[in-house]
Amino acid sequence: IAVGVPRESVPGERRVALVPKVVGRLRSAGLNIVVEPGAGGGALMSDWLYEEAGATLGDPWACDVVVKVAAPTDEEIGRLKPGSVLIGFLGTDQAQALATADVHGLAMEAIPRISRAQSMDALSSQSSVAGYLAALLGAQHLTRFYPMLTTAAGTVPPAKTLVLGAGVAGLQALATARRLGAQTTGYDVRPEVAEQVRSVGAKWLDLGIEARGEGGYARALTDEERAEQLKRLNEAVIGYDVVITTAQVPGRRAPVLVTEDSVTAMRAGSVVVDLAGESGGNCELSVPGEVVVRHDVTIVAPLNLPASMPESASELYARNVQALLELLVTDGRLNLDFDDEIVASACVTRKES
């Protein structure tokens, strides 16, 4: 079986779906890896590193399996071989085009978050990268120090960081801000994460609103709960130097957690880092993809943040892809077992046979 690794075509997408370290493992599982020249360039992984690991350079689109990071463009779908398998963050827009092209699409974002599929959980691996970077962006844009400093010129108090939404990204943001010396506090509507928040050295902010949803996610709040949450958050947010927001509800617009009133009440020079920009933003004043200053508060709402740390993001993603490929290949043959929950959930285009 040949597995193709194309160069990502979306502007700014610096990640690559397989890295040289993983190529060797896949070779021993009987797979031939075909890498498009320059595919790892954005992540500073040169062609010769791939060749040294046992890959060949060539046309990835002619392969039985093509592995990508970003969703394919129409042009890319046109290059896929009928009957082939495409793996990546596929989204929902291209499902019909993939089906028409007679391609099996396996969406990394649709892999169920069950323990057997943990090693394939690309949502988690990329959220960890985003959470880490969110804490760094907070530190970078803050006009004050993160850690407490005792200097000859006096003592500097530590910055206070509040993370709203303590899922994978939020917990990583808390852990990172703490390592940089900030005083950290975490908040979520799923009360079960309180323990995890404390385990990364943060305080737990309890606003008395619980919203557990399906499959380990949060549910959307009712109008009444939302009004109550905003009222309590408006009061809570004021004392913080950095507010990092990561709240998402599957299939919906991200909830607004930081209003203009809250931003107005924050101290000048404070920072909001909004990781929910892709789904509309958690801060009312966020401009997705931009850094804006409103009421003397810097509001950062980055898009596709993991692509800005392409080496680690690609390494983790490649391990997720490797684990999925190992599930799909038995004795050197490709076997899409639709009775397997992982394959059935991930497949966005099941070919009728």
- Residues lying near ligand NAD in the complex (CB under 6 A) are found at 113-114, 123-124, 127, 164-170, 188-190, 215-218, 221, 246-250, 255, 257
**Catalytic option among 118, 206, 296, 350:** 118
Residue 53 or 324: the one with the smaller Cβ distance to ligand NAD is: 324
Residue 85 or 123: the one with the smaller Cβ distance to ligand NAD is: 123
Distance of CA 241 to CAs 164, 213, 261, Å? 14, 31, 16
Find the helix or strand (DSSP H, E) in which 66 lies.
Answer: strand 65-67
Minimum distance of ligand NAD from residue 258's CB (angstroms): 11
Residue 148 or 198: the one with the smaller Cβ distance to ligand NAD is: 198
| Distance in angstroms (rounded) separating the CA atoms of residues 248 and 110 | 16
**Catalytic option among 217, 219, 294, 345:** 217
Sequence-separated (6 or more) residues with CB below 8 Å from residue 235: none
240 is catalytic: no
Minimum distance of ligand NAD from residue 57's CB (angstroms): 36
Residue 175 or 329: the one with the smaller Cβ distance to ligand NAD is: 175
Minimum distance of ligand NAD from residue 303's CB (angstroms): 15
**Catalytic option among 7, 25, 27, 113:** 113
217 is catalytic: yes
User: Torsion angle of alpha carbons 103, 95, 213, 321, nearest 10°?
Assistant: 40
Please list the residues that pair with 32 across neighbouring strands: 2
**Catalytic option among 14, 50, 84, 121:** 121
DSSP 218: B
146 is catalytic: no
Sign of the dihedral through C-alpha 58, 63, 69, 70: positive
Pairing of strands 291-294, 297-300: antiparallel
96 is catalytic: no
187 is catalytic: no
Residue pair 327/340 in contact (Cβ under 8 Å)? The answer is yes
Minimum distance of ligand NAD from residue 225's CB (angstroms): 8
Minimum distance of ligand NAD from residue 345's CB (angstroms): 12
Distance of CA 248 to CAs 99, 235, 275, Å? 29, 22, 9
The angle subtended at Cα 73 by Cα 351 and Cα 254, nearest 5°, is 90
Residue 84 or 245: the one with the smaller Cβ distance to ligand NAD is: 245
Residue of closest CB approach to ligand NAD: 167
Sign of the dihedral through C-alpha 98, 249, 325, 6: positive
Minimum distance of ligand NAD from residue 113's CB (angstroms): 3
Residue 20 or 186: the one with the smaller Cβ distance to ligand NAD is: 186
Closest CA to 301 of 177, 141, 183: 141
**Catalytic option among 27, 79, 124, 144:** 124
Catalytic residue numbers read: 113, 118, 121, 124, 217
